[in-house]
Structure 1
Amino acid sequence: MPKEARPGTGEQAKQHALTQLREAILRGDMAPAQRLVENELAEQFSVTRASIRAALIDLAAEGLVERIRNRGSRVRVVTVEEAVAITECRMALEGLCAAKAAVAATEEQLTELADLGAAMSKAVADGEPMTYSGLNHELHARIREISGQQVAVELLERLNAQLVRHRFQLALRPGRPQRSLTEHLAMIEAIRARDPRAAEAAVRTHLAGVIDALRA
């Protein structure tokens, strides 16, 4: 890192390390159970070990990192049953967001959701599961944002961060994108119809399908 780009020390350095580490875990650059060695990370991100340690404590609070007594830290492994439990919580929170989005969305936002649905359909037709997975993630995030339910949004962001590995695995499972596409298009249709009950029901149906796929 060029000298002028160094993040400095203290809170600025910790935030720099926190952002970089979080993004690396969410991209899948750091695998579940991978050891996180403070000296190596400090050198990689040009910060002190103290900054790395503080960032790891924050990531442990977010559920992304596991700190093991006398053994340091590692990327936390989320079991299938825990992923199911998290998805059950998502059903309530994302259903709420979809219902609110159906009422709050502007015409421009409704068009944006339709465009996302069309892009998802194209990705499935073209056999591009990772493109579809990214659009899937974007759709859910956009619905949360449109809802304006900030408490639910913050809770969901924390929950969803723990599901990254499982999301990638499901995206690559043969036939899964085709099945989930129909569920996502139903969510979009209900929100565009400004039907909050149907929107919530569509989200619950979709996430029940996710749970079935996780357990398969």
Structure 2
Amino acid sequence: MHVTTSDTAQKRLGTLDDAITAIRSSILEGEFAPHQRLVEVDLCEQFGVSRAVVRNALLKLTSEGLVEHLPNRGARVRAISLDEAIEIVEARAALEALCARKAAERMTPEAREYLTELRAAIVDALESGDLAEYSMLHQRLDHYIRDLSAHHTSTQILERLQAQGARHQFRLSFRPGRAARSGPEHLEIIDALLAEDADAVEEATISHLKGVITAMRES
């Protein structure tokens, strides 16, 4: 079968996307530690892609703030300090609040049904003490609010900011007692969305992220 230039480009793009996703996940999940060197040959072998793909993936992750390049030493996982992580959450607060307000203004019957089910699932996870499930559900809530807001610029910036601060927030989410504080805050955000109250959901979102900052400073 004849393969066109566009077919080949699309295949390469998919391979690059897979490599970016795999390396990003390894960084965010702690498989690659802060300041760990990212050796291209090793990454090629681990992920089954070419050196050119790995190099381009590392450039992309550098633009996201997850990787840094050192002169004559190559790439390594970029360490995010606590102070920088707090700055990231402060920046997120403004954008998350904007998305939440837009989402409240764009509520639909389908969104109402989804959020009602998500609220019930969060309550179940909190009552059963399933922190992993609760963590997954509140991430789902964050992404759904952004999608519902249809504010693409904020969403793109937030995805990059959240990736940079993910390691700090992951540790925070499993701290004893943290879910008991953040859970009601997430429920308040959902309730404000269901009420289509843009002011209330904006305030609840900012309040929640201020609580995140306070908890990070206490760590």
Structure 1 residue corresponding to 2:153, chosen from 151, 154, 165: 151
**Matched residue count:** 210
User: CA contact under 8 A between 2:29 and 2:167: conserved in structure 1?
Assistant: no
Q: 1:46 aligns with which of 28, 39, 48?
A: 48
CA distance in 2, matches of 1:157, 1:197: 24
Paired with 1:11 and 1:155, the residues of 2 have a C-alpha distance of: 22
Q: Distance in 2 between matches of 1:15 and 1:190?
A: 36
> Who is 2:6 aligned against?
none
Give 1:45 shift: 1.9
Give secondary structure in 2 for the equivalent of 1:155.
helix
Q: Distance in 2 between matches of 1:156 and 1:60?
A: 16
SS, match of residue 163 in structure 1: helix
TM-score by length of 1: 0.91
CA distance in 2, matches of 1:74, 1:185: 39
Tell me how far 1:175 sits from its aligned partner: 0.4
**1:31 CA displacement:** 2.6
Name the Cα RMSD after superposition: 1.9
2:187 equivalent to 1:185: yes
* Contact map agreement 1:9 1:51 (CA 8 A) in 2: no
8 A Cα contact 1:133 1:171, kept in partner: yes
Matched AA of 1:19: T
8 Å Cα contact 1:28/1:164 also seen in 2: no
Alpha-carbon distance in structure 1 between the residues aligned to 2:72 and 2:106:
50
Give 1:118's aligned residue: 120
Alignment correspondent of 1:60: 62
Shift of 1:176: 0.2
CA distance in structure 2 between the aligned counterparts of 1:105 and 1:9, rounded to whole angstroms: 38
Whether contact under 8 Å (2:41, 2:51) holds in the other structure is: yes
Q: Distance between the aligned counterparts of 1:190 and 1:16, measured in 2?
A: 37
TM-score (norm. length: structure 2): 0.89
Question: 28, 31, 34: which is aligned to 1:29?
Answer: 31
Read off the aligned partner of 2:81 and give its amino acid letter.
T
Q: Indicate if the aligned counterparts of 2:100 and 2:202 stay in contact, CA closer than 8 A.
A: yes
Which secondary structure state, in structure 1, belongs to the residue aligned with residue 49 of structure 2?
A: coil
Q: Distance in 2 between matches of 1:182 and 1:143?
A: 17
Q: Distance in 1 between matches of 2:13 and 2:110?
A: 39
* Runs (5+) with no aligned partner, structure 1: 1-6
**Contact 1:171–1:177, Cα closer than 8 Å, also in 2:** yes
Q: CA deviation at 1:167?
A: 1.8
The separation in 1 between residues aligned to 2:201 and 2:13, in whole angstroms, is 42
Equivalences for residues 1-216 of structure 1 within 5 A? 11-216=13-218
Amino acid corresponding to residue 64 of structure 1 in structure 2: L
Instruction: Report the CA distance shift for 1:203/1:8 in structure 2 as closer, same or farther (over 3 A).
Output: closer
CA distance, structure 1, for counterparts of residue 134 and residue 174 of structure 2: 10
Unaligned runs of 5+ in 2: 1-8
